[in-house]
Amino acid sequence: MIVVQRRHKIKEKLFQQRSVKVSELVKEFNVSEETIRRDLNQLEREGLIQKNYGGAILIEDIENVAIPPVQQRKFQFFEEKNAIGKKAAELVTGQQIVILDSGSTTWCMARHLKQTTGLTVVTNGINVAEECSQNEEAAIFLLGGKLIKKSMSVVGPQAEMELQKYNAHFVFLGTSGISPRKGFTSSDIYEAEIKRAMIAAGQRVVILADHSKFQRQALVSFSSLQDVDMVITSDLVEPAYIREMEEVGVKVVVCPVKHELREEEE
């Protein structure tokens, strides 16, 4: 099992049990105590846990409140999403206008836009706007409309109408699933409508997708494969899936994360 998969399972245990023990994780995953402690060190850096003698617990702020799913998703495949977000941020230069939708991978991208000068960000994501606000030079436009609490995103006709005013250099979107037949899909019909409006407002459209999104089909399609300019993903994706997109003319950028995440032989 590679590191990203093991850490994902540890996070699932934390949300279910509120705490984990090193000894139990060592037995379950058949790895060394040192390996598990490295995993917990990473989760601590992500702000998810507080380590204690023999294990770790969810930090108090997380344990005492209901966590919106978008917040939980930030901790799933974090290393991979962060690499994808960093690569996406490298496309953006100063003085550009970018549209980012709500989501965990676009949030990771926002973390890497803090030094971009003269940036204008248009978003429907509360989490994305908050992260982008750390760039003191950035102008941030948060779309109005109905708030979907589970994703902390704003949707609806008002937001769609506002998007008609913009002409962005780039549109960066997350996706719930990617399939050759249905293209890029979303699990929410209203969020799919916002994504379509964002695509219409941009000169170049870039999809950010971790490996779990491939060969999955969510509720509703928001774009065909051919209607986007680029997909940024990681080398955890099966090469055959990447070839399928390239065959229909989609440029695919693959971030090298496998060598960093794959388990070293003990």
For the chain, which residues make up each domain, given as ranges? 3-65, 71-261
Over the stretch 3-51, which tens digit does the pLDDT of each residue have? 767 887 888 788 778 889 999 999 999 999 999 999 998 888 766 788 8
What burial letters (b/e) apply to 212-243, b meaning 16+ CB within 10 Å? bbbeeebebbbbebeebebbbbbbbbeeebbe
- Give the residue among 47, 46, 40, 5 at the shortest CA–CA distance from 21: 40
- Give the CATH number of domain 71-261; options: 3.10.129.10, 3.50.50.60, 3.40.50.1360, 3.40.190.10: 3.40.50.1360
**Per-residue pLDDT in tens (0 to 9) along the chain, 266 residues:** 677 678 878 887 887 788 899 999 999 999 999 999 999 988 887 667 888 889 998 775 444 433 445 555 555 688 899 999 999 999 999 999 999 999 899 999 999 999 999 999 999 999 899 999 999 999 999 999 999 887 889 999 999 999 999 999 999 999 999 988 899 999 888 999 999 999 999 999 999 999 989 988 888 899 999 999 999 999 999 999 999 999 999 999 999 987 665 544 34
pTM: 0.74
Is-same-fold flag (3-65; 71-261)? no
pLDDT at site 67: 41
H runs (alpha helix) in the chain: 3-17, 22-29, 33-45, 60-63, 69-73, 78-89, 104-111, 126-132, 157-163, 189-200, 239-247, 258-261
pLDDT at site 62: 45
Q: Which fold has domain 3-65?
A: Arc Repressor Mutant, subunit A (1.10.10)
Which SS3 state, helix, strand or coil, does residue 147 take?
strand
Over the stretch 63-81, which tens digit does the pLDDT of each residue have? 443 344 555 555 568 889 9
Q: Terminal CA-to-CA distance of the chain, rounded, Å? A: 12
Rounded Cα distance, 56 and 41, in Å: 10
Neighbours of 160 (CB within 10 A): 20
pLDDT at site 236: 92
Quote the tokens at residue 47. 């702000």
pLDDT at site 68: 45
pLDDT at site 65: 38
pLDDT at site 241: 92
DSSP state of 112: T
